[in-house]
Copies of this chain bind each other. A is one copy, B any other.
Amino acid sequence: METRELRYFVAVAEELNFGRAAERLGIAQPPLSRAIAQLEHRLGVALLIRTSRKVSLTGAGEVLLAEGRAILGAVAAAERRTRAAAADRPSLVVAAKAGSSGEVLAKLLDAYAVEPGAVPVDVLLCESNTHVPLLDGRADVALLHEPYDPTTGLDVEVLSTEGQVAVVQAAHPLAGRSQLRVADVSDLPDLARWPRRDGTYPDGSGVEVRNLTQLFQLIELGRAVAVLPEVVRTGLAEGLVAIPVVDAPQVTTVIAWPPHSRSRALADLVRVATGFS
C-alpha cells in the first residue's frame, strides 16, 4: 500500500464524493476512481459502497480511514523531523492552547532556558486540538488537558491536577454562591458550542466558540456559562465570577510527546517540567 493510495482513499472517504476528492487532490476524477478500485482489488476488500448517487464507507473502509489518517500524519511527521534533525540548529517546538496554559508554559520555558545544553524553544499556539501538531510533526511536545484532549498514542507525564470552576457573569443568579454542583449548571441552556475533536461543531443553536476570549465575552454578556479548570481564575475580567464546582471531574495538565522520541533536548524539557509541579 503506497501513501499515494492512502491519500487518495482518505480524500474520498472524507468527501464521500469522487469529484470533490479529485479536485482536492488536484487530479482528474477517472484516475482517482481507478486508483481506489485498484486499492480495493489489491486488499481484496470493499472499502466504499457506490450507488450512482451516493458514496458511503464499509466497515473496513472506516477502519482504513482511521489508520490511513494516522499513517499520513506519521509520514508528514517523519518528513518534518528528518528535516529538523538535519538542521544544524536544534530546537524544540512546544504546542499549547492559547490562553489556558500561559503561566505554566512561561514558568516551564524559563526553567528550561537556564538548563545546561538548553536549545531554542519555539511555541506553537493552538486554538484547540493541541495534540494534532504532535501527530504530524509540527511540534515536539505539547501541553494537554485531560480529559479534554485525547492522549492515545502519546507518551505523557502528569504536571498538575486541579478542580474546575463555573465562570458566570457577575450579575448571574448563581454569582453569590460559594460552591456549586454539576447539576446546578448542567441544566442551564447552553448558548455556546465548542468545536469537537475533529474540528466540526455540534448541531444546535448558539454561537460557535473557538477560544477562551470569545467565551469570556459571551459570559460577560450573560449569553453563556462555562465550567473550566481553576487556573482561569488568574486574570479573570471584572464582570466575571468563578465558583468552584465541587463534583466536577478533576482536570489534569499533562506534558505529552510522540512515542519513540529519543531527543536529548526533549528529555531535558520533560524532566524540568515534571521537576516543579
B1 touches A2 (CB 8 A): no
CB proximity to B under 8 Å, residues A18-63: 43-47, 58-60, 62-63
Contact indicator per residue, chain A 64-75, by CB within 8 Å of chain B (1) or not (0): 101110110011
Interface hub of A6, A79, A82, A155 (most chain B Cβ within 10 A) = A82
Residues of B within 8 A of A70 (CB): 74, 260
With known contacts A4-B2, A74-B70, A152-B155, A82–B259 Cβ distance under 8 A: no
Instruction: Point out the residue from B63, B75, B83, B155 that lies within 8 Å of A60, measured CB to CB.
Output: B83
Does A77 reach chain B (CB closer than 8 Å)? yes
Does A223 reach chain B (CB closer than 8 Å)? no
Does A81 reach chain B (CB closer than 8 Å)? yes
Q: Describe A's contact surface by its main secondary structure.
A: helix
CB proximity to B under 8 Å, residues A106-134: none
Report the minimum CB–CB distance from A222 to chain B (whole Å). 40
A59 touches B85 (CB 8 A): yes
Residues of B within 8 A of A58 (CB): 86
Residues of B within 8 A of A89 (CB): none
With known contacts A60-B82, A83-B43, A259–B152 Cβ distance under 8 A: yes
* A70, B64: Cα distance in complex, Å: 17
Does A262 reach chain B (CB closer than 8 Å)? yes
With known contacts A67-B78, A78-B64, A78-B67, A83–B259 Cβ distance under 8 A: no
Residues of B within 8 A of A44 (CB): 83, 86
A44 and chain B: residue at smallest CB distance: B83
Instruction: Point out the residue from B3, B63, B68, B71 that lies within 8 Å of A85, measured CB to CB.
Output: B63
Instruction: Point out the residue from B83, B86, B152 that lies within 8 Å of A260, measured CB to CB.
Output: B152
Interface hub of A43, A47, A58, A78 (most chain B Cβ within 10 A) = A78
Chain A contact residues, CB within 8 Å of chain B: 1-4, 6, 43-47, 58-60, 62-64, 66-68, 70-71, 74-75, 77-79, 81-86, 152-155, 258-260, 262
